[in-house]
Every structure is written in C-alpha cells, then in structure tokens.
Amino acid sequence: MALCIGIMGAENQPLLIKISSSIQEPIKFHYLLHSALDVVEEKTQPSQKTPGSISSGDLRDLYLGLLYPSSDEVRVYAYCTCTKTKMILVVESANTALRENEIRALFRRLHVAYANMVMNPFYELGQPISSKSFHEFVETMIKS
C-alpha cells in the first residue's frame, strides 16, 4: 500500500500530492516529497564523461528506484518522465509484499494514466492536476 504519491512538474512545482487518509501527520510526507526532489535532481543530472563516450542521459532508465530509506518506517521511490515530470512514491518499510518489479509496474501504470490525462486539450502543462478521473486513479493506487 502506498502511503503517499506525489507528481512534481519540470520546475519541481507540485502538480498533485495524495496522502493516505490513515496518515496522522501529512506535513511529514510533504517534507519527504520535497526532500526527495534533491535526490532526483542528482540522479538525473548528466554525469561528466570523457569526450566521445556515451552520455548517461542516452541510456538512463525512467525508473530511478529507491532514493533513500528515509527512516525505518517508509521507503521513497521515484520515476522521472522524459518531460522531467517526477513521480514519487512513499511506501511502508514493513510492506514486504511490494517488490522492485511491482514498484516499477506501479510507476508504469501511473505514467500511462498521467500521459492519458495530459492528452486532454484543456489541460495546461505545469498546472496543478484537476482531472477527477486521474485523482480517482491515484486514490485507488493508494488504497490497493
């Protein structure tokens, strides 16, 4: 079960933040999401290579994996789209049912739903997400 899902724009502005209703201190998760952006920025920066070598940006995976175990209670994972939209997922550390491949599958489903939502001609890129169907989809990801 996901405790929190955050989608941040290319300029690190929050587009959507959903936190499980069972959370007592939601501000803690806002802090986790924003501090995770620093790690995402480090991981997505092109590394310094020698001339003639292939840059890491050409081969990088959209899935960034476990950013850091922020505490004994939660783990923070991230995914970055080609348009630099960041998707951050916070899960319970005690949840051993979620394996790495299942986290990847969650991000792929979230990315497809996001792409479908962005195709709406009335949505402006970089604006907070107001799509009711997308909000419901994210809610089902948190509850499942």
Specify the pLDDT at position 70. 58
Cα within 13 Å of Cα(69), Cβ side = 6
**How many of the other CB atoms lie within 10 Å of CB of 117?**
18
Tens of pLDDT along the chain (144 residues) come to 789 999 999 999 999 999 999 888 899 999 999 999 999 998 888 765 545 444 444 445 688 988 876 567 888 999 999 889 999 999 888 776 678 888 999 999 999 999 999 999 999 999 999 999 999 999 999 987
Q: Where do the domains of the chain lie, and which CATH numbers do they carry?
A: 2-20+27-40+60-143 (3.30.450.70)
Specify the pLDDT at position 53. 41
Rounded CA gap, 20 and 137, in Å? Answer: 13
Rounded CA gap, 139 and 144, in Å? Answer: 9
Specify the pLDDT at position 94. 76
- Residue 69 to residues 35, 88, 113, 122, Cα–Cα distance (Å): 12, 13, 27, 38
Specify the pLDDT at position 44. 85
Specify the pLDDT at position 58. 44
Specify the pLDDT at position 49. 53
Specify the pLDDT at position 57. 47
Rounded CA gap, 75 and 68, in Å? Answer: 7
Specify the pLDDT at position 116. 95
23 Cβ contact partners less than 8 Å away, ≥ 6 residues apart: 3, 4, 29
